[in-house]
Chains A and B, each alone.
Chain A
Amino acid sequence: MPMRPVILPIISLAVLLLAWELYVWIFAVPSYLLPAPSAIWASGTQIIGAVPIHTWATLFTVLAGFAVSVAVAIPLGVIISVNRLASEAIYPLLVFANAIPVIAVAPIIVVMLGTGIEARLVINFLVCFFPIMVATAAGILDTPKDYLDLGKSTGAGFMTGLLTIRMPHATPFIFSGLKIGITLSVIGAVVGEFITSNRGLGYLIVSSTTNFDLAQAMFSVVVLAFMSVILFQIVQFAQKLWFPWSIKANGMG
């Protein structure tokens, strides 16, 4: 394996962090305006005991919200792609629902559902179901006519055709949607925690900034970023593991 693609970005990052560190040090920027990377690291080591609890709280919202979104979005995507009536009846509403800025409705949802996990799940769902649904529908609709003819010529009924032709063909599309969805799910979870929570990385950011503890807030952001990247990689890995043929199909690894 060539090392260059691994080493180069690490060097760029190191240079960037060093420049940042020097800037803060040379101009003596106070840490409540811009903490140096070393300060962020130090702050992280101070709260390291509490980090797993907050990370887990956020991760739970991310995964639960993502699971609910997938469970709703994929069947919904199938329905709107194969049924004209359903598509005409509900698709405009879904577009409209997606157009509402979630941050704007989040406080309303909290009033309606309380400050528990339910509100956060709904907020999360609103952010991440749409791309998964649209990707599913696009994949189903993209099925080549020849494949459908093959099904027809062998006597495949609707369900058989859906399961053996349309869904497999839609798989690479669905995974594109899932990769966008899991990333949005992290955003959704943080928005939920901003509005209502006493735990989670989103909560940690809000409570740190209230105390002008930017180092701690930034450390939380770094943890969030890592979470997001790792989750994305897990989705990608699942695709490689279970649907290896779908990787090349849409040219997006």
Chain B
Amino acid sequence: MKDVLIDRVTKIFGADSSAPFTALHDISLDIKGGEFLSLLGPSGCGKSTLLRCIAGLETPTTGNVLVGGGGARPGFDNIGFVFQGSNLLPWLSVLDNVLYPARVKSRSTVEQYRDRAHELLEQVGLSHVANQRPESLSGGMQQRAGIARGLVMDPDILLMDEPFSALDAMTREELQFELVRLHQETGKTFIFVTHAISEAIFLSSRIAVMEAFPGRISQLIDVEFEYPRTLDLLNSKQAIDIDAAIRASIYGEAKTQAQTDR
């Protein structure tokens, strides 16, 4: 199982412009194989940017992201990416969407992965709509297909950028359970971006709490509940303490920020 090593990563947007924006400031983080790590923080804290740096969609201004000892490159087979909207291509069937990462390699790769794609669709409960187009699916089903697509090339690491933020509360809970199950079944490293505290506590084995202006990691919290988890754990003393610690970290800081602004 591959580790992800984030080594002093700084990302400045518009570095040569008159108004450069520091999205990430000197971030170092070691993510172990098989971990379920959440990047949690308010908007503007750079959590998505950090995820995109790991995926190779952004290049750090300084510093490095190392995936399993090598540099993260776009299309690195080791990485699957699940987008915020399901981001399915409307002209492909659900099955062909799941197979898209294989299609990018070659047409013959598609044939190799066809069985696996069917298996994954079975796993996320979408076998019956494999040949339909995404537009006929509900938001939750679309996002399930998005997750299946992220897993199709059997990557060691699955990156998820607020995948449930557009879903209704009930679908969201349902998918959280499924995600934990998938994590247990596959043993892959899951890196999950969210701004929902309870979601992060329920899902993760570790939470990196981030702060904005400039984006940085303010706290690393281990969430030591056994898997499989039930929603009851959110009412436990331990979860309430974690919740409080995260809120203090995020809102306490925001208050200080507001005061210095004044």
Chain A partners chain B? yes
Interface string of B81-116 (1 = CB under 8 A from A): 101110101110000000011011100000000000
Asked if residues A153 and B100 are in contact (CB atoms below 8 Å), the reply is: no
A165 contacts B by Cβ under 8 Å: yes
Knowing A160-B104, A164-B103, say if A153 contacts B74 (CB, 8 Å).
Answer: yes
Q: Which residues of B contact A146 (CB under 8 A)?
A: 83-85, 87
- State A249–B89 Cα separation when bound (angstroms): 12
**Chain A residues bordering chain B, tally (CB within 8 A):** 21
A171 contacts B by Cβ under 8 Å: yes
Q: Which residues of B contact A171 (CB under 8 A)?
A: 91
- State A11–B73 Cα separation when bound (angstroms): 66
- State A147–B57 Cα separation when bound (angstroms): 12
Closest-by-CB residue of A relative to B93 is A245
**Chain B residues bordering chain A, tally (CB within 8 A):** 23
Asked if residues A154 and B55 are in contact (CB atoms below 8 Å), the reply is: no
Q: Give how many A-B residue pairs fall within 8 Å (CB-CB).
A: 57
- State A149–B83 Cα separation when bound (angstroms): 9
Q: For chain A, what secondary structure do more than half of its interface residues adopt (helix, strand, loop), or is it mixed?
A: helix
Knowing A164-B103, A164-B104, say if A153 contacts B57 (CB, 8 Å).
Answer: yes
Q: For chain B, what secondary structure do more than half of its interface residues adopt (helix, strand, loop), or is it mixed?
A: loop
Closest-by-CB residue of B relative to A149 is B57
Asked if residues A147 and B87 are in contact (CB atoms below 8 Å), the reply is: yes
Q: Determine which of A153, A165, A246 lies in contact with B89 in the assembled complex, contact meaning CB atoms within 8 Å.
A: A165
Query: For chain A residues 69-121, which have a beta carbon within 8 Å of chain B?
Result: none
Closest-by-CB residue of B relative to A148 is B57
Knowing A146-B85, A164-B100, A245-B133, say if A153 contacts B91 (CB, 8 Å).
Answer: no
Interface string of A159-184 (1 = CB under 8 A from B): 01000110011010000000000000
- State A243–B81 Cα separation when bound (angstroms): 28
- State A150–B152 Cα separation when bound (angstroms): 14
Asked if residues A154 and B87 are in contact (CB atoms below 8 Å), the reply is: no
- State A108–B84 Cα separation when bound (angstroms): 57
- State A45–B57 Cα separation when bound (angstroms): 68
Q: Which residues of B contact A221 (CB under 8 A)?
A: none
Closest-by-CB residue of A relative to B74 is A152
Interface set of A (CB-CB < 8 Å, partner B): 146-147, 149-156, 160, 164-165, 168-169, 171, 243, 245-246, 248-249
Interface set of B (CB-CB < 8 Å, partner A): 55-57, 73-76, 79, 81, 83-85, 87, 89-91, 100-101, 103-105, 133, 135
A-B residue pairs in contact (CB < 8 Å), sample of 11: A146-B87, A147-B89, A150-B81, A150-B83, A150-B89, A153-B56, A153-B81, A155-B104, A156-B75, A245-B90, A246-B91
